[in-house]
Amino acid sequence: MANADNAITLRENTVNLVTEGLLRDYEVRVANLVSSGTNLGSAAILTGTNKWSDYVNSAPIADITTGHAFIRSQTGLTANTMVIDKD
């Protein structure tokens, strides 16, 4: 083992591979937790006339205000960032 660079590299590569796999799994589990409405305690399903693309009947400001109030009541913190997708 004293001059076995390949053996050391093999062990190092194995450790790196396992570590990366564990970190990816952790990232997927966290993403599933924070993006699921059931884990947030409150989620608004926008269907039918509630969809924000229905410019006449939808109320996006009211939906945001409701979500903001829920976050404040559950955590005591004031939300100051919102993430939405392009659609």
Continuous segment of H or E residues that includes residue 65: helix 60-75
Residue-wise pLDDT tens digits, 37-57: 666 656 667 788 888 888 888
Q: What is the average per-residue pLDDT within 21-49?
A: 79
pLDDT band at 20 (very low <50, low <70, confident <90, very high): very high
Could you give the CA distance from residue 45 to residue 19 in angstroms, rounded to a whole number? Answer: 37
Mean pLDDT score of the chain:
81
In the chain, what percentage of residues exceed pLDDT 90? 16
Could you give the CA distance from residue 3 to residue 72 in angstroms, rounded to a whole number? Answer: 61
The yes-or-no verdict on residue 86 having pLDDT over 80 is no
Could you give the CA distance from residue 16 to residue 59 in angstroms, rounded to a whole number? Answer: 49
Structure pTM?
0.50
Per the rule left: phi > 0, alpha: psi between -120 and 50, beta: everything else, 82 is: beta
